[in-house]
Every structure is written in structure tokens, then in C-alpha cells.
Structure 1
Amino acid sequence: MIRRLILALALLFAPASAQAYGFFTHEAIARIALMNVRPETARMVRAMLRGAPPLLQTPECKVATPEQAATWPDCVRNLGERFSYTASWHYQNVDICKPFDLKTACKDGNCVSAQIERQVKLIQNRTVPAREKAMALVFLIHFVGDLHAPPHGGDRGDRGGNDVKASYGPVTAKWLNLHSIWDSPLAERAVTTPPSPFRVYSPEERAALGSGSVEDWSRQSWEASRDAAYGLALGDACGPKPARPVTVTPEAIEKMVPAQRLQIERAGLRLARMLDEALDPAKAFVPEKKPPYRGG
């Protein structure tokens, strides 16, 4: 009861700016990943991040550790025009009420799944300057987390559930909506519910949870958004738009927690895999030279 009261008070007074996919959750995903990468990968990640602050020059947004890197791309969105071009890279609006269609949602490459693949290529490209590699590493750490947040992976034309006002059980607040519930209180509950996700996973677990392509992960996030984020909250994921704020009942929350927990563990182990691949010297390349651009 005391824990619930503390949670309720924290939710009531939490600032709206904290509702990007929770800083706590992004840090947790980075921590899981660094516990499950190859030792040489962990050393390279930490070394690159230690050298990142003077390269990226964002004293307002720290970036020297994996945990700081995991939240940096959300922090810099508050720096005005400098990073405004990255806004659409944090999500993809794949319609949960139609057949899965990633190509239409990401036709211009300005979506989270396309940016994950782009950051890996930038890290592997031997000709990319150190500053761009550092930024690519930071974006990769963050975007793998974003892709696995269900409302970032699919919605029903409501800005990932931001337009669906909701209460979290008995907790109500002006800033609460379906998206913010999944990004913050539900995600934090999933991470803190035993057993701890902060461990070295077995090869069998890494193979089961970390496998698949970025498109496969996109489909899973879309399914989780449809079935858990919307389906459990609304009853009918594709029914009429709610006319009043939705109450996410304690019974629904109990069913949502395992779905969210699974996505967080998947994100951590898949990020570990992506870091191992991106920083594998054998996969570094020099791009073929293209004819010079003539303009016109």
C-alpha cells in the first residue's frame, strides 16, 4: 500500500517533459546490453563515449556513459533547432488497424527502424569522422530502446496514444495518456518487478530474445501496441475513439506488465547484438567511390 501511495504521488507530480520513453527505462536497456556484449565491445563503447562530450558539445545533455548516452537523444530535443531534424526518428506510425506495412510508414527513412540500420552503417564506415561515429553510437543505443516501446512502434492515428487521455489505475494527472503510461510508470514497474533483468543471459536466452531483423522487431512492437497497449486498455484496439479519458484498470495493468517486460529484455539483448555487430572490426568497410556530384 505504501509503495502504491508513493507511486501515485510521483505520478501526480511528474513533469510532462519526463514522458519520453522513460529515462529510467532507456538506462535499464543500456545496462542490460552492456552486461551482454562481448568484453571488447563494452570497452569500445565506453571509450567512445568518454571521448564524446568534446565532440558533440552538448554540456546541457550528458553523454559520457552508456546510461547518459541512452537518454541523450531525448535531452537534445530540447535544444531548439540544432537537433529538431531528429524528431521523427524516435517512432514509426504503423497503423495497428491495418495489415502491417512498414514500407509506407517509413518510406522516407525518417523513422526509428530505418535510423537504427543507418546508425550501424555509419559506425561501420571507416571514412566517417569520429564525431559522426560517436553520435551514431548514441543514437543507436537510444533508438533500439524506442523501437521496442509499443506506442512508438504502432498507433491508430493518435500520435502513439498521446491523444488518448487515460488514468493509471486510480492515478490521474493532466499529463497522463496511453503513451505516457507505457513510456514511464508501466515500463518502470516492468523493470523493477522481480526477477531482475540486470544479468548475463544464457546463450539460449540471447538467441531466443535477441534474434530477428529490424523489420521483425518492428512487427513485434506493432503487435504489442495493438494487442497490449491499445487492446488491453480499450477492449477493442480498433473500436471508436474514446470520448472520455480511459481508465487502465489494475487488471489490465497486470496483463500489460509481462508484455512490457518482454519488450525491454528484447531491447537490451538486441542492442547488445547490434553493438557487437556495429563495432566488429571485421565488418568495418570503406564505401565504394561514387562519381562526383555535378549539380543541376
Structure 2
Amino acid sequence: MIRALLPAAAVALAATASPAAAYWEFGHETVAKIAYANITPKARAGVRRLLAQSRLLGTPECKADTIESASVWADCIKPLKDANGQSRFGYAFSWHYQNVDICHDFDLTPACKDGNCVSTQIERDVKLLRDRATPAKERVMALAFLIHFVGDLHQPLHAGDKTDKGGNDVKAGYGDYAPPRLNLHSIWDGLLAERAITTGPSLVRRYPAAVRAKVAAGSVTDWSRESWQVAHDVAYTAALGGDPCVPTPPHVELDNATIAKLVPAAKLEVERGGLRLARLLDEALG
């Protein structure tokens, strides 16, 4: 069911956005649903079997018993504390993104130091899932992280930026809708993602085999480079009116005409995320 965008929720999320924040629930859930509709029956059974053990995660506050709930589990757990008041999952905060400067040559090495970036974690999760000797709890966690992180990688401002925390430091206006503290990152996370997903035919469907093969081709590094390029060619170019590498002003405006032009690119990123997640789930569980 397509949900209406609630302005109150939009304001709250815009006010708390960070580089580790991800697609709003709608974006992650859509990526997950596309994947689930396009994996093999064996992989689908594997997903269900693992998520049926999600109680092993020890996070009753954050469900992961369906592919939709698992898709947002990695965000839900961020505020959880242990008995001493320390973050239980603070080690994973940097796993949601990789801020590679769009105005320099593409290079994952600095962004992925010590493996603390989204692309490295995607590859790690696939390996954990493929290894049947991995303990059940670790496999369930790897699955939940994988479902979420593939969505994150296909939000372009999780893949490329201008040393501005993935656009979080860029205050922005969004057409006629301008809640306080809205920024470029939160626009791509939520407002634009919502509009893209609800525009035109549903993205959640079984895609032809040739389309699946074409979209899902390549490596995680290839996908990282592509998403980084979308950040350069689309997200920052639109925000800055042409040259994405000119100095960024304190505030940018995305008018309605610009937003309409961004919708196809945002829609394509969600589709790519879903079909690529399907490929990885097939490789890991199918």
C-alpha cells in the first residue's frame, strides 16, 4: 500500500538527518520488495527461514521478521543502548555510507578505511551468508544489514559528496514545501524518494530476465562508482545549477521544474537497488 507523506514526520526526519541516516522507510521497503519479487524460490525460502530466526538479534524494539521490516532494522537499532548506556551498535554507524568526493577521481580507499563503508560491508555480508558455517545469529544479522545497505548504496548522497556529510550541510528548499532545517541529503532520502516511487507504474514487479541481468551486472565497486557519478551528474549538478564543483552556497533551492527532472533518476536508483539486491540474495542463498 502506498502511504501518504506526512509533513510532521518529514520535518522530524529532516531535523535529525545525518550521513548515517538512510532512505526513509518507504525507500528501503521498496528496494526490499523489488528484490523479493525477483529472487529465485530457493533464495526466497532462505530469506524467510533466516528472518524467522530474527529473535536471535535480541532487538525486540526493532523487528526483522519480514523483508520489509528487515530493510529498516539497521536504522532502527541506532539509538539502542546497553545496560551501561553505551550504544549497542555504534560500531556500525559508518557502514551506511561512503563519502567519496565528487570533485576528485573516484577512489574508495580513503572512504573505506578499515572496511568501514557501505560497499565493503555489502561484500562482507554476502560472504557471511554464503558460508553455512556462519552462526545463525550472524547470518540473520548479515541478511538484515545486506538488505538495508544495498538500499543505502543506491541513495547517491551515500556514495558521493563534497565534504559536506553527504549533503547534510547543504540547507535546501524543495519546491513549495519548505520545512525548517531541510537539507539536500534529507530531500534525496525522503521527499524525492517518496515522489519517485509513487510516480508512474509500480516498481515492485517481476522484471524480465534480460532486464534483471543488465541492471544487476557488474561488481559492488562498479555500483559504487555509478551511484557516485549520479551524485555528481544529477544531485549536485541540479542543486548548483550546472557545475557541481563550484563552491556550494549556504542554501540552495530546488524548484518544481528541477524536482520533476530529478524524479526519473531517483526512480532508477530504487529500481537498480532492488534488482541488484535480488542478485546478491540469489548468490548468497539461492
Task: Check whether TM > 0.5.
Answer: yes
Change (3 A) 1:139 1:8: closer
CA distance in 1, matches of 2:98, 2:258: 25
Alignment-mate amino acid for residue 241 of structure 1? T
Residue in structure 2 matching 1:225, options 205, 227, 231: 231
Partners of 1:63 and 1:111 lie apart in 2 by 22
Cα contact 1:11–1:171 (8 A) shared by 2: no
**What does residue 274 of structure 2 align with?**
268
How far apart, in 1, do the equivalents of 2:284 and 2:10 lie? 41
CA contact (8 A) 1:158 1:164 kept: yes
Q: 1:50 deviation in Å?
A: 1.4
Deviations 1:38-79 (A, max 9, x none): 0111111012101112x0010111110000000000000111
Secondary structure of 1:78 counterpart: coil
Specify which of 255, 260, 263 is matched with residue 257 of structure 1.
Answer: 263
RMSD across aligned C-alpha pairs, in angstroms? 1.6
Greater RCO, 1 or 2 (C-alpha within 8 Å, sep 6+): 2
Identity %: 57
1:104-183 to 2 correspondences below 5 Å: 104-183=110-189
Query: Structure 2: which amino acid aligns with 1:58?
Result: T
- What is aligned with 1:188? 194
Give the corresponding residue for 1:288: none
Task: Summarize the Cα distance change of 1:231–1:31 in structure 2 as closer, same or farther, 3 Å threshold.
Answer: same
Unaligned runs of 5+ in 1: 1-5, 281-296
Amino acid at match of 2:191: P
SS at 1:167 equivalent: strand
Specify the code of the residue in structure 1 equivalent to 2:219. Answer: S
Find the aligned partners of 2:252 and 2:216 in 1 and give their Cα distance. Answer: 34
Query: 1:238 maps to which residue?
Result: 245
**Contact 2:11–2:182 (CA<8 Å) still a contact in 1?**
no
In structure 1, the residue matched to 2:206 is 200
Runs ≥4 in structure 1, deviation > 2 angstroms? Answer: 6-20
Q: Is 2:76 the partner of 1:46?
A: no
Structure 2 residue runs without a partner (length 5+): 82-86
What is the CA distance between 1:12 and its match in structure 2?
Answer: 5.9
CA contact (8 A) 2:118 2:152 kept: yes
1:108 aligned counterpart, secondary structure: helix
Q: Does the CA-based 8 Å contact 1:123-1:278 persist in structure 2?
A: yes
Residue number among 12, 20, 23 corresponding to 1:21 in the alignment: 23
1:123/1:137 contact within 8 Å kept: yes
More divergent stretch after superposition (15-24 vs 171-180): 15-24
The answer to whether the Cα contact below 8 Å between 1:11 and 1:185 also exists between their aligned partners in 2 is no
Residue 249 of structure 1 deviates from its aligned partner by 1.2
SS in 2 for 1:253: helix
Q: CA deviation at 1:175?
A: 3.1
Moved more, 89-98 or 206-215: 206-215
**2:205, 2:133 → 1: CA distance?**
36
Evaluate the alpha carbon distance shift between residue 227 and residue 140 of structure 1 in structure 2; reply closer, same or farther with a 3 A threshold: same
SS of alignment partner, residue 78 of structure 2: helix
TM-score by length of 1: 0.88
The equivalent residue for 1:291 is none
How far did residue 35 of structure 1 move?
A: 0.2
Q: Counterpart amino acid of 1:238?
A: C
CA distance in 1, matches of 2:147, 2:97: 14
| Bigger Rg, structure 1 or 2 | 1
- Structure 1 residues 183-233: Cα deviation after superposition (integer angstroms, max 9, x where no partner): 001001111111111110001110121111000000110001111111111
Q: Distance in 1 between matches of 2:7 and 2:144?
A: 32
Note the C-alpha offset of 1:8: 8.3
Q: Distance in 2 between matches of 1:256 and 1:228?
A: 7
Counterpart in the other structure of 1:70: 71
TM-score normalized with structure 2 length: 0.91
